[in-house]
Amino acid sequence: MPFLDASVLGGIALYQRWLSPHKGFRCAYAAFFGGESCSAAVARTIRERGLRGSGAAIAERFAACRQAYSHLSAGATGGPRVRGVCCCGPLPIPFRCG
């Protein structure tokens, strides 16, 4: 596994272990659709395709997460509004989310 791939996967693992449990909310995609969170999906994609071959899939996943956040924050599910910030909400990320 290339060094950059391993470094990114290490960063995701640190996020999942130390930051995510304390932020008080979960990924909008996982909350709306169920299944794995964005961090888990991105890590799986990088393990399967490598970082260089994962850009489009990662951008697509974050776009879907942003759309799920829009549905949840608008109360489109008929349930309570989501508290917190989507993983791809106002936090800057290095590529466009849709």
DSSP one-letter string for 21-43: GGSSS--HHHHHH-SS-HHHHHH
If phi > 0 it is left, if psi is from -120 to 50 it is alpha, else beta; for residue 83 that is: beta
| Amino acid in the structure at residue 23 | K
pTM (2 d.p.):
0.74
Model confidence pLDDT, tens digit, residues 25-50: 788 999 899 999 999 999 999 999 99
The gap from C-alpha 29 to its chain's centroid, in whole angstroms, comes to 7
Look over the chain and give the mean of its residue pLDDT values, rounded to a whole number: 81
pLDDT computed for residue 87 by the predictor: 56
Closest to 44 measured CA to CA, from 89, 14, 5: 5
